[in-house]
Amino acid sequence: MIHVELVKLARRPRTWVSLLLLCGLPVLVAVFVAVTHLAPPPGQGPALLSAVLSSGSLYPAAALAIVLPVFLPVAVAVVAGDSIAGEAGSGTLRYLLARPVGRTRLLAAKLIALIVYTLSAVILVAVTAYFTGISLFGSQPVAATPGGLTTSNIAATSLSGSGLTPAEIALRTLGAIAFIAVSMLGVGAIALFLSTITDSSLGAALGALAALITSEVLVTLNSASAVDPYLPTRYWLAWIDFFRDPIVWRNIERGFAVQGVYVVLFLGASWAHFATKDITS
Partner 1 sequence: MIATRGLTKRYGHLLVVDQVDLDVREGDRYGFLGPNGSGKTTVVRMLLGLVYATSGEITVLGQPVPKRVGEVLPSIGSLVEGPSAYGHLSGRANLALIDAAGKSGSRRTRRSRIAATLDRVGLGGIDNRPVKRYSLGMRQRLGLAAALLRTPKLLILDEPTNGLDPQGIREIRDLLIELNAAGTTVFLSSHQLSEVEQLCTRVGIVDRGRLVRQDDLETLRALTGRSIVRTPDGDRARELLDGQIELAQAGRLVVADADTAALNSRLVAHGVRVTEIAAERRSLEDVVLSVTGSGSDRVDILDGDRR
- Using CB under 8 A, list all residues that contact partner 1: 1, 3-4, 7-8, 11-13, 90-92, 94-102, 105, 276, 278-280
* 94/250 with CB nearer partner 1: 94
Query: Least distance in Å: CB of 117 to partner 1?
Result: 17
* 58/106 with CB nearer partner 1: 106
Q: Are 96 and 90 in contact (CB under 8 A)?
A: no
Q: Would you mind telling me the total number of residues written for the chain in this entry?
A: 281
Query: Least distance in Å: CB of 106 to partner 1?
Result: 9
Query: How many whole angstroms separate alpha carbon 129 and alpha carbon 131?
Result: 5
* 91/268 with CB nearer partner 1: 91
Query: Least distance in Å: CB of 84 to partner 1?
Result: 14
* 13/41 with CB nearer partner 1: 13
The Cβ of residue 93 has, within 10 Å, a number of other Cβ atoms equal to: 20
Positive or negative torsion for Cα 174, 64, 61, 26: positive
**183 burial type by CB count under 10 A (0-12 exposed, 13-18 middle, 19+ buried):** buried
* 57/201 with CB nearer partner 1: 201
Query: How many whole angstroms separate alpha carbon 258 and alpha carbon 72?
Result: 19
* 103/172 with CB nearer partner 1: 103
Q: What is the CA 165 to chain-centroid distance, rounded?
A: 25
Q: Are 66 and 31 in contact (CB under 8 A)?
A: no
DSSP state of 139: S
Query: Least distance in Å: CB of 78 to partner 1?
Result: 16
Query: Least distance in Å: CB of 240 to partner 1?
Result: 39
Query: Least distance in Å: CB of 3 to partner 1?
Result: 7
H helix or E strand, kind and range, residue 184: helix 166-197
